[in-house]
Chain A
Amino acid sequence: MPDNSSGEFGPLSLHVPEPAVRPGGEPDFSNVNIPEAGSVRRPPVDANPEEIRDLAFSIIRVLNRDGEAVGPWAGELTDEQLVEGLRHMMTLRTFDARMQIAQRQGKTSFYMQHLGEEAVSCAFRKALSPGDMNFPTYRQAGLLIADDYPMVEMMCQIYSNEKDPLKGRQLPIMYSSKEHGFFSISGNLATQYIQAVGWAMASAIKNDTKIAAGWIGDGSTAESDFHAALVFASTYKAPVVLNIVNNQWAISTFQGIARGGAGTFAARGLGFGMPALRVDGNDYLAVFAVAKWAIERARRNLGPTVVEYVTYRAGAHSTSDDPSAYRPKTESDAWPLGDPVMRLKNHLIGRGVWSEERHTQAEAEILDTVITAQKEAESFGTLHAGGKPSARDMFEGVYEEMPPHLRRQRQQAGV
């Protein structure tokens, strides 16, 4: 132990943040400051970032407690678009539930759900235009669902079967689709955030009109690539929307370990002079409106925007995780921003374009669609049964042309 006797100050101590509540405790979100729906202003898309710094510390919300759309960010979507949005979120949730079960049945090795975060990726996708490119994490499959990417293909990827578009090379859910503006997912966190900026810079270099969207979770903002992305996006005024999905948890680590609570995650953008908006991530209407604002800003060559989606990871981190080991079981019920599906459903019922009956009927239809897709996907095999990618495929695609040493190894493998 060091000698502290000569100092006029007491000994130093290390601060290690802790979540407010642990298993067995009462969930407490009293520290989450939630402004009323409709209360946050809507600046013009060409606003000077200096003049809208307050938006990084508030939460843009459209749907109020009664399910009404209120305030300056409301009115962006038609009834038909909203119903479609609800169906997308319900589809993603159903898809998740079925794949979660499939994993438990041993049909695949791994799965990750989006429970509680469906609005974020489903609504964002609808604000993009064809040709724009997302650089998603593993928890934005709503980008594919809302773009009508074939569910069977998603499942074939999850099952690593003979129709897996990635030939069995990738862990389940690490989708890739250029046609659907969905960049290849990597297991390495945050790497895609700076790549999104590079893609956007390329679009600007070529005087194109396409924009990029980067995606990251609250925990991964601590990775150095997050900071690289912010400085590059800001320096080159890249046409990119830098999305941060703050679901409060990085596996077992609460967002305070990534220094959430010190300002906000959105506010990280302010130091780089970028506009930064915070939005209710469980409010489909608010997500869409903010996404549209940021995308339009990028498209008009006004530069990047940082958007923090405030939401809650209601499910386990993955099929390999048990959240009851580190947080109260009832915490997601206590989450003050509620459930995105229920909130949009209630809004649509209030609007008179939806009903409990239609909802129940839609649930049944969607379940039927997902099960039909699942049956088709399973007819091409699952991880341990039926059709699978050929072992020859293992050696393909490392390079455009197979070099001699890989040819020798393929021969050695006898495939």
Chain B
Amino acid sequence: MPRKTMIEAIRDAMDVMMERDDNVVVFGEDVGFFGGVFRCTHGLQAKYGKTRCFDAPISEGGIVGAAIGMAAYGLKPCVEIQFADYVYPAYDQIVSEAARLRYRSNGGFTAPIVIRMPAGGGIFGGQTHSQSPEALFTHVSGLKVVVPSNPHDAKGLLISSIEDPDPVIFLEPKRLYNGPFDGHHDRPVTPWSKHELGEVPDGHYTVPLGKAIKRREGKQLTVLAYGTMVYVAEAAAEETGIDAEIIDLRTLLPLDLETIVESVTKTGRCVIVHEATLTSGFGAELAALVQQHCFYNLEAPVARVTGWDTPYPHAQEWDYFPGPARVGRAFLETLEG
């Protein structure tokens, strides 16, 4: 099976869907002729023409607002926000419009759009190229929120998202674009070509939304993670020797509660890891759900390892990013607790 980077897998998903469905259109800043600042749309304009893949003015509200109008007409726009850090001008369109259109019109109009955006840190991106704003979207009724962690899932989840009848926020951990990253910034990164999850089938396939997957079977504690943190958790398990069960959530909304509850019920312990800031982050929702559904099985308090409650700094990148050492300490504390 061919191995691809996450960038190639994402591009492949759009290629497959543009080929299959004339209503799929792709646009955003620099996505047309140039093929995107991360190359995710490279070649699509040449293949499908300027009216299927095109450059947009620098207006995030405009991009999402236009996409909603197109979707109301009957198209399936898959648009790009250059960095998740720049999605805020489009927040009104996402929250007040895309998320609510089906509900407020009683199904008269719908917004089957996908909003792709590179997210996450670990790249010396500083304050406005590193954020993880997923909790701002998981709090919004009517949205779906997806975060892939590898090329195979990225393609399958993106195809599912484009085919989905509801608006999907598709957060792409840019740190994982070219290879998995476990937080060991001092070691060379291995490319996806050396990793089995870089195996991406040709053609159409889907990874279902709302389904988590176990990345590592374990007995001692359950780790809930997504995006880059899946690899950090794997490294922490290896380095501490703790038999952690690592669940890659993949879709945050709707959430695969069943897989989570089944695992925590078995292990009796739970550590939640995400890059985003702690307070009111998605981890708080996960902790509340675990506490509610697994109360009588819990042997220790649910732990959260996350970014600090600060803006994402530049020079202090590795003091901020929750790396394997911090995650490993939380594993040990949770086992002792």
- Chain A residues near B (Cβ < 8 Å): 133, 135, 165-167, 169-170, 174, 176-178, 183-184, 186-188, 191, 193-206, 212, 224-225, 227-229, 231-232, 235, 397-400, 403-405
Q: Which residues of A contact B108 (CB under 8 A)?
A: 165, 176-178, 184
B57–A235 touching, CB < 8 Å: yes
CB-defined A-B contacts under 8 Å, sample of 15: A133-B72, A166-B106, A184-B105, A184-B109, A186-B97, A193-B65, A205-B51, A225-B93, A227-B59, A228-B59, A229-B65, A232-B56, A398-B102, A400-B110, A403-B254
A198–B254 touching, CB < 8 Å: no
- Place the interface of chain B in its size category: 35 or more
Q: In this complex, which of A167, A203, A204, A399 has the most chain B Cβ atoms within 10 angstroms of its Cβ? A: A399
A183 in complex: contacting residue of B52, B72, B210, CB < 8 Å:
B72
A201–B97 touching, CB < 8 Å: no
A405–B254 touching, CB < 8 Å: yes
A194–B62 touching, CB < 8 Å: yes
Q: Which residues of A contact B56 (CB under 8 A)?
A: 232
- Whole-angstrom CA separation of A169 from B25 in the bound complex: 31
A397–B102 touching, CB < 8 Å: yes
- Chain B residues near A (Cβ < 8 Å): 25, 51-52, 56-57, 59, 61-62, 65-75, 77, 89, 92-93, 96-97, 100-110, 141-142, 144, 165-166, 210, 254-255, 257-258
A225–B69 touching, CB < 8 Å: no
Known: A174-B104, A176-B106, A177-B108. A224 touches B72 (CB 8 A): no
B72–A232 touching, CB < 8 Å: no
B72 in complex: contacting residue of A191, A195, A228, A399, CB < 8 Å:
A195
Q: Which residues of B contact A400 (CB under 8 A)?
A: 102, 110, 165-166
A194 in complex: contacting residue of B61, B107, B144, B254, CB < 8 Å:
B61
Q: Which residues of A contact B109 (CB under 8 A)?
A: 176, 178, 183-184
Known: A404-B254, A405-B257. A198 touches B66 (CB 8 A): yes
A191–B166 touching, CB < 8 Å: no
A199–B72 touching, CB < 8 Å: yes
A398 in complex: contacting residue of B61, B77, B103, CB < 8 Å:
B103
Chain B, Cβ-Cβ closest to A199: B69
- Whole-angstrom CA separation of A198 from B65 in the bound complex: 7
Tell me the minimal C-beta distance from B282 to chain A in angstroms.
14
Q: Which residues of B contact A178 (CB under 8 A)?
A: 105, 108-109
A199–B73 touching, CB < 8 Å: yes
Q: In this complex, which of B67, B92, B110 has the most chain A Cβ atoms within 10 angstroms of its Cβ? A: B92
- Whole-angstrom CA separation of A135 from B257 in the bound complex: 39
Chain B, Cβ-Cβ closest to A164: B106
B166–A202 touching, CB < 8 Å: no
